């Protein structure tokens, strides 16, 4: 079964750093677009950053200059490096990916979500 597994969340003081990982596994596959969303209590889920298959990236204004999204195609993993963290970055972070799954001669596409990982930034 193809799935996205996130890791790397935790508790950090303001100004600190965390790196989140999102690994796709379960079949022969590739990640086309990898995205990171976050959802704070009482707020809607928002797109934080994404990276395309060619390596192009895009960020929400609130994280530009502090967060960096990257990928390792050999490991089918997308990362989110978060620096200079602020209390307002506290949220559950979710990865989302457009996948191509290879089964013999067949290719299918699928969009999956990770399970979410809590990031808490204390002041």
Mean pLDDT computed over every residue of the chain: 97
Confidence band, pLDDT 50/70/90 cuts, at residue 87: very high
76 DSSP 8-state letter: T
Residue 27, pLDDT score: 85
3-state secondary structure 8-68: CCEEEECCCCEEEEEEEECCEEEEEEEEEEEECCCCCCEEEEEECCCCCEEECCCCCCCEE
Q: Radius of gyration over alpha carbons of the chain, in Å?
A: 15
Residue 114, pLDDT score: 97
Flag whether pLDDT at 43 surpasses 90: yes
How many Cβ atoms from other residues are within 10 Å of residue 39's Cβ? 14
């Amino acid at each position: 079964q193809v799935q996205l597994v996130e890791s790397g969340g935790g508790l950090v003081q303001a100004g600190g750093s965390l790196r989140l990982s999102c690994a796709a596994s379960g079949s022969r596959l590739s990640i086309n677009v990898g995205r990171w969303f976050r959802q704070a209590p009482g707020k809607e889920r928002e797109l934080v950053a994404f990276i395309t298959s060619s390596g192009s990236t895009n960020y929400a204004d609130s994280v530009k200059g502090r967060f960096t999204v990257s990928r390792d195609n050999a490991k089918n993993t997308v990362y989110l490096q978060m620096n200079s963290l602020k209390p307002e970055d506290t949220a559950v972070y979710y990865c989302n990916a457009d996948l191509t799954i290879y089964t013999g001669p067949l290719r299918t596409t699928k969009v999956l979500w990770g399970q979410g990982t809590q990031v808490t930034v204390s002041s």
